A = this chain, B = another copy of it.
Amino acid sequence: MQRLGEMILKYGEGIGDSIVKVDYFLNHRVDCALLWEMADEIKEHFKAKGIDAVLTVEASGIALASFAALALGVPMVFAKKHETKNQSDACLEAKVHSFTHNKDYNIRINAKHLNRGDGILIVDDFLADGEAVRGMRELIRKAGCELKGIAIAIEKGFQKGGKELRAEGVDLLSLAVVEKIENGKISLNPNY
Candidates B66, B67, B110; contact of A23 at CB < 8 Å:
B110
Chain A interface, >50% SS class: mixed
Contact (A15, B88) CB under 8 Å given A29-B77, A30-B77, A59-B58: yes
Query: What is A's interface to B at a CB cutoff of 8 Å?
Result: 15, 19, 21, 23-25, 28-33, 35-36, 58-59, 62-63, 66-67, 69-70, 73-78, 80, 82, 85-86, 88, 100-101, 109-110, 112-113
Chain B residue at minimal CB-CB distance from A108: B28
CB distance from A96 to the nearest CB of B (A): 15
B28, A66: Cβ atoms closer than 8 Å: no
CA distance A62 to B32 in the complex (A): 12
A29, B85: Cβ atoms closer than 8 Å: no
B59, A28: Cβ atoms closer than 8 Å: no
CA distance A82 to B19 in the complex (A): 19
CA distance A67 to B33 in the complex (A): 10
Q: Which 8 residue pairs are nearest across A and B when measured between Cβ atoms?
A: A58-B59, A29-B113, A59-B59, A32-B70, A62-B62, A63-B66, A32-B69, A30-B76
CB distance from A157 to the nearest CB of B (A): 19
Q: For A23, A30, A88, which residue has the most chain B Cβ atoms within 10 angstroms? A: A30
A113, B24: Cβ atoms closer than 8 Å: yes
Candidates B23, B59, B69, B88; contact of A30 at CB < 8 Å:
B69
Q: For A25, A33, A66, A85, which residue has the most chain B Cβ atoms within 10 angstroms? A: A66
A–B pairs, 18, beta carbons within 8 Å: A15-B88, A29-B113, A30-B69, A30-B75, A30-B77, A32-B70, A32-B73, A32-B76, A36-B70, A58-B59, A59-B59, A59-B62, A59-B80, A62-B62, A63-B63, A63-B66, A66-B67, A85-B100
